[in-house]
Amino acid sequence: MANTQAMTTSFKSEIMAGIHALGTSVVRAGTGADTVKAAIYLASATVNAATTAYSVTDEASGSGYSAGGVTVTNAVVPTSTGTTAFWTPSANITYTTVTLATAFDAVLIYNSTQSNKAISVHTFGSQTITAGTFTLTMPTNDASTGLLRIA
């Protein structure tokens, strides 16, 4: 046997599960899963890896759409396969009977329990919706396609 330098796989999934608090000012008190939400952003917006929190600036708006977006169904525990940790919402993200007339092309996933802190940005071809439904179909929750993966 030989020792191997690594970030442990368990740590990767435990980051997503909020097990570790390495900061000097730990503010987390809750023990349950946080509420995760998904907000739609206009094609003219700038949401990216530098985005730190949800903002109404350049968020989509229109009939049937509430600022802040929709709550993401989260009934799965972050887990890992091999050396990759992953997490995927347990249901598709759906905006039902909305009219979003201005083109949009991104969804921000964020943690509404933790001061709306940003988690991830997902982009797609520009869309508009007219009295219809916009659905983001979730990928298979595994190490190859899970929505969030840390390897």
103 is an interface residue for another protein by CB under 8 A: no
Measured distance CA(38)–CA(144) in Å, rounded: 22
State the nearest-atom distance from the C-beta of 16 to another protein, in Å.
11
Closer Cβ to another protein, 114 or 128, answer by number? 128
Give the sheet arrangement for strand 93-111, strand by strand: 70-71, 36-42, 93-111
Measured distance CA(120)–CA(150) in Å, rounded: 12
132 is an interface residue for another protein by CB under 8 A: yes
Measured distance CA(28)–CA(53) in Å, rounded: 17
128 is an interface residue for another protein by CB under 8 A: yes
State the nearest-atom distance from the C-beta of 74 to another protein, in Å.
16
Distant-in-sequence, close-in-space partners of 130: CB < 8 Å, separation ≥ 6: 99, 101
Q: Are the beta carbons of 143 and 84 closer than 8 angstroms? A: yes
120 is an interface residue for another protein by CB under 8 A: yes
Size of the site for another protein (CB under 8 A): 32
125 is an interface residue for another protein by CB under 8 A: yes
| Interface residues toward another protein, by CB under 8 A | 5-7, 12, 88, 97, 99, 120-125, 127-137, 139, 145-151
